Structure 1
Amino acid sequence: MKLKHLAGLIPLLYATSAIAIEPFEVKDIRVEGIQRTEAGTVFSYLPVRVGDKLNEEDAAAAIRALFSTGFFKDVRLEMQQGVLIVVVRERPSIASIEINGVKDFPKDTLSENLKMVGLADGRIFDKSALDKAEQELKRQYVARGKYGVSLTTTVTELERNRVSIVFNVVEGETSKIKQINIIGNETFSEKELKGLMQLDTPNWISWFTKNDQYSKQKLSADLEVIRSYYLDAGYLEFSVDSTQVSISPNKEHIYITINISEGAKYTVSNIEVSGPEKILSHKEARELIKAEVGDVFSRKVMTDSITKIGDRLGEDGYAFANINAVPDIDKEKHEVGFTYVIDPGARAYVRHIDITGNTKTRDAVIRREFRQMESAWYSASKIKTSKQKVDRLDFFSEVNLETLPVPGSNDQIDVSLSVKEKSTGNFSIGAGISSNVGLVFNGSVTQRNLFGTGNSLSAQVNTGKVNKVYSVSYTNPYYTDNGMSLGFDAYTRDVNTTSTAISSFRSSTLGGGIRLGIPISDFESTTYGLSAEQTKLTLFENSTLQLQKFVDDFGPTTSNLLGSVGWSRDNRDSVIYTTEGTVQRAFVEVAVPITSQQFYKLTYEHQWFYPISKTFTFFLNGEAGYAEGYGGKPVPFFKNFYAGGPGSLRGFNPFSIGPRDINNNSLGSTRRLIGNAEVLFPLPGMAKDRSVRLSAFVDAGSVFGQGLSASDSLRYSTGLAITWISPVGPLKVSVGVPLNKQSGDKVQPFQFTLGSLF
């Protein structure tokens, strides 16, 4: 006797059965039709047990429960003499998945994505998952501008209740933006507005930037850029009325039409400040607002002013300050007044500083860089400084800092710093190449974060035609708790100039020293050093008379005890990808008169970074060097200054600027001036990639003295350069063109350094 046959269709489960069912007691349960699924699995999902009294409602609930597992495509319940029989028909399993015609995506990546939606070998086949995968794949192609993509899916039934799935994809060509029209503009030309947009019609660099491929996200960003452009120019009522994106019948071309309303240009009629003066006086707040009555309205000026007021309140601990610029618009006069309403909120202090991600670096190494303390009043500048100092450790590839309100409190915040460790130690044997010193073999053992303590230990070997250096260095940046550093160096250096633009000689130097660093402030420090050097000189037949006279006067071996004092100030926003800030360095080295040499050297360097825009940075660098002997003794020629090549004057041969001998080889000299001006910018289409950076530069430099004035040897050059942090090491390439090449100058337009020479 059958109790009921229920079809395996979900909608019918909610319908009222036309058959009256007498409830009965379940004496036993039997499962039929299973092949892969264990009977225990069915029992675990079945909400009916032996001894239960089953009615029509319970039967419908049981069928729903089994269908919801996704294992079955048909479920029926039958009853024979008190035995409940569960008859199922299993969904087929996936025997194989094949993807054909895909070129834009790696097949391994597609297989992983299919697996995430439930399509993989051995999984139970679900038609809804297949439909979802098809739609997602098409969406990915559309996002890449391939609107003509064709996708067909074939499902083939196999023996043992299995299926094979084949995706056949015809990618088609990428649809290109054929035309962009802007309607409603009167103040600014269409060309000017289109120049603000990232999207563009095809041009000579579109193959790289992909800016001729439509993207909804890119269009939204472009519309916001245009809106900001108008609002910053005073058009307070500007609006984007509509955008139309159409595609040609052959799906090869895209047409974009943007309809805008400019409105009238507004000027500022009045500026007032409202808020508690005890916390921030209205006079001081007004000084932070850069707009003046009569100025053309600018949203940028307004938002910058709000930011400055918020930062100022943050210095006193008001982390939750809320500043609103309330407008008073006069549409007839086209004027707008603003009342800056300042609500400082409660003064907040830092409850906890949480550090995560430092699997190797000790917590104390990071915390000692913090200037914001726990249980102290919140300070926006101290938090910013703390992040900068952790970033300067150069132990992490990512440093992210957040301030989080404490739930249930209006006067507490937590500071969360998350870091991503990068390798700070390595053992390497390899090679580098440079246009000025040729092939260089190098080996090194370096650990900049020894056992996670922040201490640095390195042993390096570098060999080349010009320089051979073997050195061991150790530095403890926190020798004392207040930040004094202590370091030791031992080195041997062999210089051979026979294959360079320098007058021929060879020097072998053995030395060692001790360094002590004393911090003045967070971004300023002094260093003191004492080192001893012994230098052996070898001259050649073509060595100049000046070099021969030095060896005749002082012998082929000289010893020096050198004292040094250095000072530096560095407030760059990042040491890896600098966009703003300055660097100043001054260094004095003096030969103590108890040795055979008596001289001193002074060097000064000043760098300035200024952000022109979000992606362009202006960079100025100036260097000066001065050396002089005392006690009637000259400066050793191997301590002379040189210029030319990467790092000083690109486009000219390395070390080639300045006085020369009779063989036209550089002698170097006791005075040096270097100036560099650059505009730094990302590679087009790679604004978020901080491993590559381009620059346009102008260099100037002079090495003089010994009867030669600064103007006599002053040279200029200009060109382009690229810096790339490549997998095999940092790479710098420049193409420089001398602007005032003189007779006898040695030029080298293409120059590069790779690897350890960076």
Structure 2
Amino acid sequence: MQGMRGGSIRRSLGWLAAVVLLVASAAAGAFEPFRVEAIRVEGNVRITEGTVFSYLPVQVGDRLDEEAAAGAIRALFRTGFFEDVRLERDGATLVVVVRERPAIGAVEIEGNRAIPTDELKKSLKDLGLAEGRVFDRSLLERIRRELERQYLSQGKYAARIETEVEPLERNRVAVRLRIREGEAARIRAIRILGNRAFTDEALLDRFQLGPKGPFAWFSKRDQYSRQRLAGDLETLRAYYMDRGYVEFAVDSTVVTLTPDRGSVFITIRVREGGRYRVGRVRVVGETVVPREELEALLTVAQGEVFSQRAVTESADAIAERLGVEGFAFANVNPVPELHREAGTVDLTFFVDPGKRVYVRRVEISGNTLTRDAVIRRELRQPEGAPLSTEAVRLSRTRLQRLGFFEEVNVETPRVPGSPDLVDVRLTVKERPTGNLIASVGYSDTQGVIFSGSVSEDNLFGRGTRLKLQIDNSSSNRIYSLAYDNPYYTLDGVSRGFSLNSRRTDAAEANVSDYSTDVDGAEIHWGVPVTEEDRLRFGIGAEATRLHTFSTSPQEILDFAAATGSSFTTYRLELAWTHDSRDRAFFATTGLYQRVGLELAVPGSDLTFYKLAYDLRWYRPLTRQLTFVGKLGVAFGDGYGDTASLPFFEHFFAGGVRSVRGFDGNSLGPRDSTGDPFGGNLRVVTNLELVLPLPGMADNDAVRVAGFVDVGNVFDTDGAGFDPDALRASAGVALNWFSPIGPLIFSWATPLRSEPGDETQSFQFSLGFAF
């Protein structure tokens, strides 16, 4: 190891010895200055003569003396290519004799677990140790120290790195790193000194680090990490600053390691200072927009306890508002002024809008299938106009809602030499939008399912959708064709149509014993009202044939006797949708609402209507945890000559997509044979906490959720709505966009049930969209 550390010293001594030898030779009369008529290189293997000549400060025709010779040797040693350099004379020819340093033939790493090999090799390459490069022993000590530093940052104080150099043929070497990581030092205790306002428990509960609890077998909370401790100290500071302790400071942090390097004790000494309230609040400077409008954005108010988070949010809100006006690089600087005796903090928000910035070009990259026009029609930031941060944000959101892209990144770099110009650079990463699926699946309510479908959500890169689907299960046989053009007109009016043929055996779906054959067609239009609101209008026709059996309940037999078994229905659909979600699937923020009316218009064999309201509210609680609240209410009834909602249009509840923990379609009224009959009123609400699967935070295809479901189906012509009849359940669910299609798994236990309810703890569905 000492020889490795001395590599740099030996290199320096090498050229020094060569120079001394030259001087000694000159003193003895062996070296005399001469004019170089030719130069020859000897001893080189990999290094070409041209490379040596490029570094040699001596050329043909130069006069070589002791000083020039010493300079030539130093120049060649500085390249790092050679272990030895000598200058000899052959008449008027200068002979440069070199011995090359070996090349690195292989880099081998053993014993690493905490740091992946690829990451280690990248770090080594950055330090100059990689296959094909010239080997320099002086690097080994620096590499050893750097790797030990990386392990120390992970709390592995016992980590040791040994290096070994093995000669190979053709003047190469293999460098082998043997790593003994050891165990990470475990935190035994964290003490906070100087805190009076809050207890140790209240503060340490917010730390990522700490002693492991008795039931946290797989937790890494007690593994010391310098970076995580720094994050915890910042969390501690933010906790105090958000509660009025403006002068809070961490005076010292002492990390004590036991002699065996296995246990860590952390002592944090803090200085709380006094608690302050907000005094006078002002907004000054060139506000651009009315000052009153900016003051209304402030989330701090006189008399409230000071909060650094509220101050930061207020400054960001002002900057964002100015960004809407084109002042994209506005500077809002909140300056506090403390009055210790009064215990107040005056806040002055200094506003410097800077120059209004304009967009020179909007550049799009990364799209290999999707046409530029499809992307540009979603953009709300035009070229040549002032840059609006709100328009840029909305453009990105609209592109994410398309479902065509895995990632959408936006940058606004300044144009060099033009301080008031920027370019908007959109970089997208496309995801496959076409599917060719032939699969066999199983659903707890539909049994074995054969499904085959061809779909393309971005047909020919034009943004249009086409889907041909065939599903065959014990309860349904479906053939459908659907097409939709979201930009039938340049204003964003959509138009689409669908054709379908559906055969349903209701008994196989866990409801009354009957079957229907339905053939239908529909055409619909969508009209944008605002960026987030849309109206839908559709017309269609259906032919329904009802089949009854000897086992059918009396209610259905009476219906068929009174109305017949074949019906033609002309449908009218009206709907309003509001969608402010950040994405279509696994949204983390925003609101989705839909109010829809389906009307079987006069002239149909049966006249009825169905009203539905759907609400989904998404609110991020942390960076990864999202609260989702859902409410669905649907009501239907007959009108004209139709006394009530036809039974084959009834609503059902229970199962993996409504009230989990209860068998599919099993809730609500039952027919005279005891089978589920559905009803004309359905009320279902779901409350969920959604987060990525632990260890897969970067995977956008998998989410787990804890949930509470409440709901039921009612017959308003009979018992009517009864809140006491609502069923409830709680459990966990897994949603996965797998390579073979979407999968839903849930485990639930009823919280509120009645005797006779059909419960089902584990439920799943394969091959159906959610």
User: Do these two structures clear the TM 0.5 threshold for a shared fold by scoring above it?
Assistant: yes
Q: Name which of structure 1's ranges 728-737 and 212-221 shifts more when overlaid on structure 2.
A: 728-737
Take 1:35 and 1:317, find their aligned partners in 2: how far apart are those partners? Answer: 63
- 1:9 aligned partner: 11
- 1:745 aligned partner: 757
Q: Name which of structure 1's ranges 7-16 and 39-48 shifts more when overlaid on structure 2.
A: 7-16
Q: Which amino acid aligns with 1:9?
A: R
Take 1:236 and 1:302, find their aligned partners in 2: how far apart are those partners? Answer: 12
Q: Displacement, 1:609?
A: 2.3
Is this contact kept in 1: 2:400–2:582, CA < 8 A?
Answer: no
Q: Name which of structure 1's ranges 227-236 and 197-206 shifts more when overlaid on structure 2.
A: 197-206
Normalised to the residue count of structure 2, the TM-score between the two structures is 0.90
Q: Displacement, 1:80?
A: 2.4
Q: Displacement, 1:556?
A: 4.0
- 1:734 aligned partner: 746
Is this contact kept in 2: 1:657–1:713, CA < 8 A?
Answer: no
Which 5+ residue runs of structure 1 have no aligned equivalent?
Answer: 1-6
Take 1:41 and 1:378, find their aligned partners in 2: how far apart are those partners? Answer: 52
Tell me if 1:368 matches 2:377.
yes
Q: Displacement, 1:757?
A: 4.2
Tell me if 1:258 matches 2:293.
no
Q: Which amino acid aligns with 2:242?
A: D
Tell me if 1:42 matches 2:52.
yes
Is this contact kept in 1: 2:401–2:582, CA < 8 A?
Answer: no
- 1:261/1:160 CA distance change after superposition, 3 Å: same
Is this contact kept in 2: 1:197–1:225, CA < 8 A?
Answer: yes
Is this contact kept in 2: 1:486–1:517, CA < 8 A?
Answer: yes
Is this contact kept in 1: 2:637–2:645, CA < 8 A?
Answer: yes
Take 1:204 and 1:682, find their aligned partners in 2: how far apart are those partners? Answer: 25
- 1:233-265 Cα deviation digits (max 9, x unpaired): 000100111212232222222222222111110
Q: Name which of structure 1's ranges 30-39 and 388-397 shifts more when overlaid on structure 2.
A: 30-39
- 1:609/1:692 CA distance change after superposition, 3 Å: same
Q: Displacement, 1:656?
A: 0.8
Take 1:745 and 1:544, find their aligned partners in 2: how far apart are those partners? Answer: 20
Take 2:370 and 2:720, find their aligned partners in 1: how far apart are those partners? Answer: 52
Residue from 230, 233, 237 that aligns with 1:227: 237
Matched ranges for 1:606-625 at <5 A? 606-625=615-634
- 2:449 aligned partner: 440
Q: Displacement, 1:96?
A: 4.6
Take 1:373 and 1:172, find their aligned partners in 2: how far apart are those partners? Answer: 58
Q: Name which of structure 1's ranges 425-434 and 722-731 shifts more when overlaid on structure 2.
A: 722-731
- 1:225/1:11 CA distance change after superposition, 3 Å: same
- 1:359 aligned partner: 368
Which 5+ residue runs of structure 2 have no aligned equivalent?
Answer: 1-8
- 1:505-540 Cα deviation digits (max 9, x unpaired): 222322222121111111111111122222333334
- 1:656-702 Cα deviation digits (max 9, x unpaired): 11111244321111111112223334555665554444433222212
Equivalent residues, number: 751
Take 1:503 and 1:204, find their aligned partners in 2: how far apart are those partners? Answer: 52
Is this contact kept in 1: 2:445–2:510, CA < 8 A?
Answer: no
Q: Name which of structure 1's ranges 102-111 and 459-468 shifts more when overlaid on structure 2.
A: 102-111
Matched ranges for 1:383-394 at <5 A? 383-394=392-403
- 2:6 aligned partner: none
Aligned-pair RMSD on alpha carbons? 2.8
Tell me if 1:584 matches 2:593.
yes
- 1:115-162 Cα deviation digits (max 9, x unpaired): 665555665433244445444444444444433223322223355544
Q: Displacement, 1:228?
A: 0.9
- 1:442/1:304 CA distance change after superposition, 3 Å: same
Q: Displacement, 1:208?
A: 4.7
- 1:148 aligned partner: 158
Tell me if 1:198 matches 2:218.
no
Q: Displacement, 1:349?
A: 2.9
Take 1:315 and 1:122, find their aligned partners in 2: how far apart are those partners? Answer: 53
- 1:156-197 Cα deviation digits (max 9, x unpaired): 335554434433333322322222221111111111111111
Q: Name which of structure 1's ranges 179-188 and 279-288 shifts more when overlaid on structure 2.
A: 279-288
Matched ranges for 1:191-340 at <5 A? 191-203=201-213, 208-276=218-286, 279-340=288-349
Q: Displacement, 1:460?
A: 2.2
Tell me if 1:478 matches 2:487.
yes
Is this contact kept in 2: 1:581–1:609, CA < 8 A?
Answer: yes
- 1:636 aligned partner: 646
Take 1:167 and 1:320, find their aligned partners in 2: how far apart are those partners? Answer: 49
Q: Displacement, 1:324?
A: 2.0
- 1:427 aligned partner: 436
Tell me if 1:650 matches 2:652.
no
Q: Displacement, 1:36?
A: 4.2
Q: Name which of structure 1's ranges 11-20 and 28-37 shifts more when overlaid on structure 2.
A: 11-20
- 1:515 aligned partner: 524
- 1:53 aligned partner: 63
Tell me if 1:127 matches 2:137.
yes
- 1:167/1:300 CA distance change after superposition, 3 Å: closer
Take 1:281 and 1:431, find their aligned partners in 2: how far apart are those partners? Answer: 63
Is this contact kept in 1: 2:86–2:96, CA < 8 A?
Answer: yes
- 1:82 aligned partner: 92
Matched ranges for 1:451-490 at <5 A? 451-490=460-499
Take 1:443 and 1:489, find their aligned partners in 2: how far apart are those partners? Answer: 17
Q: Displacement, 1:215?
A: 2.0
Take 1:618 and 1:415, find their aligned partners in 2: how far apart are those partners? Answer: 33
Normalised to the residue count of structure 1, the TM-score between the two structures is 0.92
Take 1:344 and 1:535, find their aligned partners in 2: how far apart are those partners? Answer: 65
Q: Name which of structure 1's ranges 607-616 and 222-231 shifts more when overlaid on structure 2.
A: 607-616
| SS of equivalent residue, structure 2 residue 752 | coil
Tell me if 1:675 matches 2:685.
yes
Is this contact kept in 1: 2:155–2:226, CA < 8 A?
Answer: no
Q: Displacement, 1:553?
A: 3.8
| SS of equivalent residue, structure 2 residue 468 | strand
| SS of equivalent residue, structure 1 residue 448 | strand
- 1:680-739 Cα deviation digits (max 9, x unpaired): 345556655544444332222121114132216421222333434445444433222222
- 1:707 aligned partner: 718
- 1:417 aligned partner: 426
- 1:485/1:268 CA distance change after superposition, 3 Å: same
Q: Displacement, 1:503?
A: 1.4
- 1:593/1:201 CA distance change after superposition, 3 Å: same
